[in-house]
Amino acid sequence: MNEVLNYFPNLTDQQKQQFTQLKDLYKDWNLKINVVSRKDIDEIYLRHVLHSLGIAKIQNFKPGSSVMDVGTGGGFPGIPLAILFPETQFHLVDSIGKKIKVVNEVKEGLGLENVKSSNCRVEEIDEQYDFIVSRAVAQMETFVHWVKGKIKKKSVHELKNGILYLKGGDLSEELAKYKTAKIYNLSDYFEEDFFDTKKVVHLPMKYKG
């Protein structure tokens, strides 16, 4: 938990309480439905919470904005971001029902009123968002295809509306055809070795009405 406080020192008491509660909730639920590896549970604040919050170092979501987390699994990056931005609406989507079950239990346990979830493939979603976030779900080309038409027309943030994807390693080939993609190194924001290869990719997406 100290990792989170160290990089996000201005949390409210409620946010501190929610982040603290989060570990026990995942520990309990993980025994019933495995969504996080056992090793990762012990390092949940570093590997899951702080990694998810890397997106917040690139863009703070404004009150009233909306964000979809595609292939959220047990709720990453969506749940930590929903704690950090309580006035932004988050839609967490996964095609596997038991993962969405964990998301719903954690959401209830933490009292997160700004989270809704859907158990379906993202291709079936017919809504629009300021940003679409994700981690470890698909190659960029497939992902772009899935989320086309799901971006709001008007940008109200510093970054243009589009995708904010947590990725790792060498992305030169995967992103070669996306000239407007910008890569942010999380090692510029977090000093732990875990972040040495971790990045956030911002890809602005044109509105398709």
Ligand X SMILES: C[S@@+](CC[C@H](N)C(=O)[O-])C[C@H]1O[C@@H](n2cnc3c(N)ncnc32)[C@H](O)[C@@H]1O
> Considering only residues 91, 101, 107, 135, which one is a binding residue for ligand X as defined by CB under 6 A?
135
* 143 belongs to an annotated ligand binding site: no
Cα separation, 135 vs 168, in Å, equals 10
Handedness of CA 122, 27, 12, 50 (dihedral sign): negative
187: Cβ contacts below 8 Å, ≥ 6 apart: 195, 196, 198
167 binds ligand X (CB under 6 A): no
119 binds ligand X (CB under 6 A): no
3 binds ligand X (CB under 6 A): no
CB 205 within 8 A of CB 161: yes
Beta carbon of residue 179, minimum distance to ligand X (angstroms, whole number): 25
171 binds ligand X (CB under 6 A): no
Instruction: Count the neighbouring beta carbons within 10 Å of the beta carbon of residue 176.
Output: 10
CB 204 within 8 A of CB 157: no
What does the per-residue mask of binding to ligand X show for 22-61, with x meaning CB under 6 A?
A: ----------------------------------------
Cα separation, 74 vs 41, in Å, equals 12
* 135 belongs to an annotated ligand binding site: yes
The DSSP line for 166-193 is EEES--TTTTTT-TT-EEEEGGGT--SG
> Considering only residues 21, 60, 66, 95, which one is a binding residue for ligand X as defined by CB under 6 A?
95
The count of chain residues that interact with ligand X, using the rule CB under 6 A, is 17
> Considering only residues 4, 22, 73, 200, which one is a binding residue for ligand X as defined by CB under 6 A?
73
Helix ranges restricted to H, the chain: 2-7, 13-32, 38-42, 44, 51-58, 78-84, 97-110, 140-147
Contact region with ligand X (CB under 6 A), list: 6-14, 58-66, 133-141, 151-159: 133-141
Beta carbon of residue 7, minimum distance to ligand X (angstroms, whole number): 19
> Considering only residues 137, 159, 171, 183, which one is a binding residue for ligand X as defined by CB under 6 A?
137
72 binds ligand X (CB under 6 A): yes
* 122 belongs to an annotated ligand binding site: yes
Q: Which amino acid is at 41?
A: I
Residues that bind ligand X (CB under 6 A): 70-73, 76, 93-96, 99, 121-123, 135-137, 146
Binding site for S-adenosyl-L-methionine: which residues?
Answer: 71, 76, 122-123, 135
